[in-house]
Structure 1
Amino acid sequence: MGGMAISAAAELAPEHVARLVYVCAFLPRNGESLLDLMKRQPPTIRPAVLSGPRPGTTVLDAAAALPLLAQDASPAAQMVLAAAIGPQPNRPQTDRIALTPGNFGRLPRAYVLCEEDRTITPALQRDMIAASPCDAVLSLPAGHFPQLSQPDRLARLLADLATL
């Protein structure tokens, strides 16, 4: 959901954003929700989504989600991720985002496409990039959490993007 969050933050306060960097993240267009974007690909993570402990929340079944989220991470990194999985509110997934050309649209964007992502498929990542072009697109042979599986390589890519 990080891509939705940074897009919304950029819309609200573009003067505080130098560049948006999406790392295998949802890249919405005006009026889209996270669920709208998810429906544009086969059901990947949806079977691992369970009703949360409180109304209006969901939670991931860690055993079902880890092979999709972090198949390329070490067992130790997978344990860290499993421990961090908790309830998430539904509204950030279902609410449609409002983005304008004058705020979000004027900011430079970069995308790190993760070629082995089983959560946001590479095909969907490419479709989102085509619909909302980015100034730079870099690829990484990684799953959904390259910060766990390839932190040094991801850090180098991010450092390269910072110099653009």
Structure 2
Amino acid sequence: MDAPAAAEGCGKHIVLVHGACLGGWSWYKVATLLRAAGYRVDAPDMAASGADPRPLREVPTFRDYTRPLLDLLASLPDGDRVVLVGHSLGGVNVALAAETFPDKVSAVVFLCAFMPDCTARPSHVLEKFIEGKWLDWMDTEMKPQDQDGEGKLPTSMLFGPRIIREKFFQLCSPEDLTLSASLMRVSSMFVEDLALRQPYSKERYGSVRRVYVVCTEDYAIVEGFQRWMVDNSPVDEVKEIAADHVVMLSRPDELVRCLTDIADKYA
């Protein structure tokens, strides 16, 4: 893809939020292309992810996990607004960010991502996904972190090599698969903590423009479940990309075109 002229982005600010077990590094292709096109781009590591030094045991709640994103938005000057893009579990991060700072968000983009609604607790979409057996978890390791059985820490999760290859990265290059497998970190879906939280409100999260990007070749959060979430909580616009779950690595050019269209329309 030839990068558009640098003036095209006009300094519009896009914040890219990774999914579970990944980090800001997963956006390296997309961030490079967006910056070349004149957009301001941040791709922060959530707590205990990417290059963040904390172990998962020091991140007991989903808000703790999301803290780097919330701190980034809190640091923005008055009047600055961003386009938030959440991938996979990152959809719940960007929803929390929009609930916390609705005045700093011009649009929220859910990229084959879990998307909470404004009526159920934020754990609801995750619980529906798990209970509905939408994914064969294959060699994913899920373990309790609490040795005393008190359940105060979220269940840990680490994707194994088979599920990565067959369900997440099936359209990615061998090089990106190798890179990603070496950088994966233990994470969590934080279902236990999210089940204790109140629904995100119509007045805050619900007031922000929302776009859902469906990935039609996604074998992780399959297209049927993505469309169920859109039906459950309608958005301003739905876009499609013929891509696997890790679309930012397998189809970066198409994704950049999609995100620049969204930023130019809503930012």
- Superposition TM-score, scaled by structure 2 size: 0.57
| Larger gyration radius, structure 1 or structure 2 | 2
Take 1:85 and 1:37, find their aligned partners in 2: how far apart are those partners?
Answer: 25
- 1:59 is matched with which residue? 158
Mapping of 1:1-164 within 5 angstroms?
1-29=89-117, 30-33=120-123, 34-39=125-130, 41-52=132-143, 54-55=145-146, 56-91=155-190, 93-94=191-192, 95-96=194-195, 98-164=199-265
Three-state SS of the structure 1 residue aligned to 2:109 is strand
Three-state SS of the structure 2 residue aligned to 1:99 is coil
How much is the aligned-residue C-alpha RMSD, in angstroms? 1.9
Three-state SS of the structure 2 residue aligned to 1:163 is helix
CA contact (8 A) 1:49 1:60 kept: yes
Take 1:51 and 1:109, find their aligned partners in 2: how far apart are those partners?
Answer: 31
CA contact (8 A) 1:117 1:144 kept: yes
Shift of 1:37: 3.3
The amino acid that maps onto 2:255 is L
Take 1:8 and 1:45, find their aligned partners in 2: how far apart are those partners?
Answer: 27
| Greater RCO, 1 or 2 (C-alpha within 8 Å, sep 6+) | 1
| 1:73–1:41 Cα change, 3 Å | farther
The amino acid that maps onto 1:12 is T
CA contact (8 A) 1:113 1:139 kept: yes
Take 2:179 and 2:136, find their aligned partners in 1: how far apart are those partners?
Answer: 19
Shift of 1:53: 9.0
Three-state SS of the structure 1 residue aligned to 2:141 is strand
Q: Could you report, residue by residue, the CA deviation over 1:49-105 in whole angstroms, capped at 9, with x for unpaired residues?
A: 2135954422111233221111001111111221221111352x3323521000000
CA contact (8 A) 1:45 1:65 kept: no
The percentage of aligned residue pairs carrying the same residue is 28
Shift of 1:134: 1.1
The amino acid that maps onto 1:25 is A
CA contact (8 A) 1:111 1:134 kept: yes
The amino acid that maps onto 1:81 is S
CA contact (8 A) 1:14 1:104 kept: yes
Shift of 1:129: 0.5
